[in-house]
Structure 1
Amino acid sequence: MSARSDAWPVLDHAELAPMIEYVNRVVQIAGKYALDDPFQVGWGNIVLTVTPRGLTTPVYRRDGVTFTVHYRLLDGDVVIETSDGARTLPLSRTSVADFYAHFCDAAAQLGIPAPHSSLICEIPGAPPAFEDDRAERVWSAHPARHMWEAFNLAADGLEAWQAPYLGHRPRVGLMWGGFDLSATRFRAKPTTPPSQGPPFMRNAQLYEYVSVGFSFDNTKSGGDNPLDIGMYAYIWPQPDGLEDRSWGVDGAEWHPDAGLVILPWSKLRETPDPHQAIVAFGDAVYDAAVATAGWPADLVGPRVDGWYMSEHAPA
């Protein structure tokens, strides 16, 4: 993938916000099926994969039907695909409530049950359920493409960062509730989650982890003011000693109120090689976990490509 910064789009939150609100809601519909599957540490079973056209669910198996749901951001539609057929649903101009009804009808035609829950999750101010969200949504191709480009470029960098980690690491993918792209490294050291907060958050905090990702809104849980679109990172549990560290890339800063290290997209795309900058950012965060929280440095192996490994014995 090109490392040229001019291949990385300018991201304007005001322009993207209506599409982000729309897509964040509709991806939760098919995302709910993942909750029927065995829980993986850190919710690794739920993430959506960035594809050449958009975002897709894992392969689901329900009532004898094997299927995927592909949110094709570049085409403005959603494809439900099974071994026996497929249905395509447009996203052009509709409400979330109407789309949900059409989705359930199309799924039923393919022998797929409706999701077990229609609650809208993790979106402040949203109606309680898909059936209640009747605001008209209009698909817009230009912001949809920028959304996909950002996810695709960020995923490429995060996958490169994640590759040499020897511990448990769910695949890089979109957390459909919070709508952030996540790359997370775990170690088998139990923690005590906070007594407050929703169960899904406390279940994500059962073990220590380092998370690096991309978000269109880095407000997260620590502050009321939205921070810049871009890369974020944090260490759970949060250790002391993060205030004066370097984060590998010019423009990356620690935000104590949010409990996040933020690398704004605007700063990222100014670097000579944004792809490599994501890797350097993630490495700096992991180095901080080693230095401040006792994470083992030897859990990260060499970063080489498959051709190298095909010709060299492991060290």
Structure 2
Amino acid sequence: MGAEQNDAGPTWPVLRVADWTDTRDTVHMWTQIVGKIRMVHAPLVNHWWQVTLYVSPRGLTTSTIPYGSGAFEIEFDFVAHRLEVRSSDGGTGGLALRPMSVAEFYAETMAVLRRLGVEAPIRPVPNEVDPAVPFPDDHAHASYDGEAAGLFWRQLLQADRLISEFRSRFVGKVSPVHFFWGAMDLACTRFSGRPAPPHPGGAPNCGDWVMVEGYSHELSSCGFWPGGGEEGAFYAYAYPEPDGFSDYPVEAEGAAFSPEFQQFLLPYEAARTADDPDRVVRGFLQSTYEAAAELGKWDRAALEVDPGRWLDRMR
């Protein structure tokens, strides 16, 4: 029972939030800096999909960022513990990920970009946190435990794998599986196709208009967040929340609706210690989606699909 092992380490690693909070909060600010660099150069996509990061085989990446007639990419490599910057003109640069302040990381990252000829005039203040200390002034967040960062990336690998599989069953409008640096969570969102009432906002240090764009259409969202449990948590919510949503029977042992966070939470440790973690997470993702779709009267027949429909012809 518990974490499956392979040559690279535990597939479902143990990482207590309390054991890496300082590193988590520092890395959170680092990802905000990199995410904002992507945001200033990428054209707006509905629901802010252009600002996110993605799980990569070594960490988290911006993917391709357009710049002039070329492009560049920034990747957090949590295997070699480096920030790597690669440009389409062949230029490369980077810096070692190590214990250093947000102010130092900000200055070094911007210096790397300047050496590669990339301008990145970001607003150097974090979002969705309180207090929002400007990056050049943040000397308090300065921790980096490389082992913990690597374990977090391995948590993200499992979440990305299972949520991507879940995503494949939906033929309607659905987001990529992507990492939002505002709240530091991996997310995937399905949409019914109907507009939603304007979101009231309320996220700290984030304009209400940001939330109005993000929640402009009726949705069911799921993801993984390194909080909400002793080792993080899978989550699921609906907007607008249909009547009866919080009481819907969720098919995942250990999952429950959190009145504090207004969403269903499945503690990561409940999945990790299960005889079949994949089955538990799949049940959580599917049943919480069904809570939104059934109670919200989505046209499920038109929106859902069998991801194996072409397998016989593909072989």
Q: TM-score, normalised by structure 1?
A: 0.89
Local SS of the residue matching 1:94: coil
CA contact 2:59–2:78 (8 Å) conserved in 1: yes
AA partner of residue 64 (structure 1): S
Match of 1:209 in 2: 219
Percentage of matched positions with identical amino acids: 28
Paired position in structure 2 for 1:100: 106
For 1:133, the aligned partner's letter is: D
Could you list the per-position Cα deviations for residues 37-83 of structure 1 after superposition, in whole angstroms to 9, with x for gaps in the alignment?
23222222222111111100021112334100001122221001012
Among 11, 22, 37, the alignment partner of 1:18 is 22
Counterpart residue number, 1:239: 242
| Structure 1 position 173 matched with structure 2 position 197 | no
> How much has 1:259 moved relative to structure 2?
1.1
CA contact (8 A) 1:215 1:229 kept: yes
Asked if the contact 1:161/1:278 (under 8 Å) is kept, the reply is: no
Q: Secondary structure in 2 aligned to 1:170? A: coil
| 1:63–1:112 contact (8 Å) kept in structure 2 | no
Letter in 2 for 1:62: Y
Query: 1:305: how far off?
Result: 8.0
Match of 1:300 among 269, 287, 304: 304
Task: Give, in whole Å, the separation in 2 of the partners of 1:34 and 1:79.
Answer: 14
2:264 counterpart (261, 266, 269): 261
1:38-187 equivalence runs, <5 A: 38-83=43-88, 84-127=90-133, 129-135=134-140, 137-187=142-192
Unaligned runs of 5+ in 1: 219-225
Matched, 1:286 2:285: no
Q: Please give the secondary structure, in 2, of the residue aligned with 1:137.
A: coil
C-alpha distance in structure 2 between counterparts of 1:302 and 1:237, whole Å: 27
Change (3 A) 1:207 1:103: same
* Structure 2 CA distance for aligned equivalents of residues 238 and 146 of structure 1: 33
- Secondary structure of 1:153's match? helix
Letter in 1 for 2:287: A
Q: SS of the residue aligned with 1:45?
A: helix
AA aligned to 1:112 is V
SS at match of 2:166: helix
CA distance in 1, matches of 2:131, 2:260: 22
In 2, are the aligned partners of 1:30 and 1:115 still within 8 Å (CA)? no
Size of the alignment, in residue pairs?
A: 302
Structure 1 counterpart SS, 2:245: coil
1:229 shift after superposition: 1.6
**Structure 2, unaligned runs of 5 or more:** none
Q: CA–CA distance in 2 between the matches of 1:13 and 1:233?
A: 20
Which has the higher mean CA deviation after the structures are superposed, 27-36 or 53-62? 27-36
SS in 1 for 2:142: strand
2:192 and 2:299 in contact (8 A); partners too: no
Task: Evaluate the alpha carbon distance shift between residue 39 and residue 136 of structure 1 in structure 2; reply closer, same or farther with a 3 A threshold.
Answer: closer
> For 2:169 and 2:201, how far apart are their aligned partners in 1?
35
- Aligned equivalents of 1:251 and 1:130: distance in 2? 38
Q: CA deviation at 1:195?
A: 4.1
RMSD: 2.2
Q: Which whole-Å deviations, capped at 9, do the CAs of 1:124-169 have from their partners, x for residues lacking one?
A: 2341x11111236232122111111111111111001111211111
Contact 1:157/1:276 (CA < 8 Å) preserved in 2? Answer: no
Does 1:30 pair with 2:40? Answer: no
Cα deviation digits, residues 203-231 of structure 1 (max 9, x gap): 1111011101000123xxxxxxx787210
Partners of 1:122 and 1:251 in 2: how far apart?
28
- Aligned partners of 1:8 and 1:228: how far apart in 2? 11
What letter is aligned with 2:46?
A: V
Q: Report the alpha carbon displacement of residue 108 of structure 1 after superposing the two structures with TM.
A: 1.0
CA contact (8 A) 1:62 1:113 kept: no
- Counterpart AA for 1:170: S
Residue identity matched to 2:235: Y
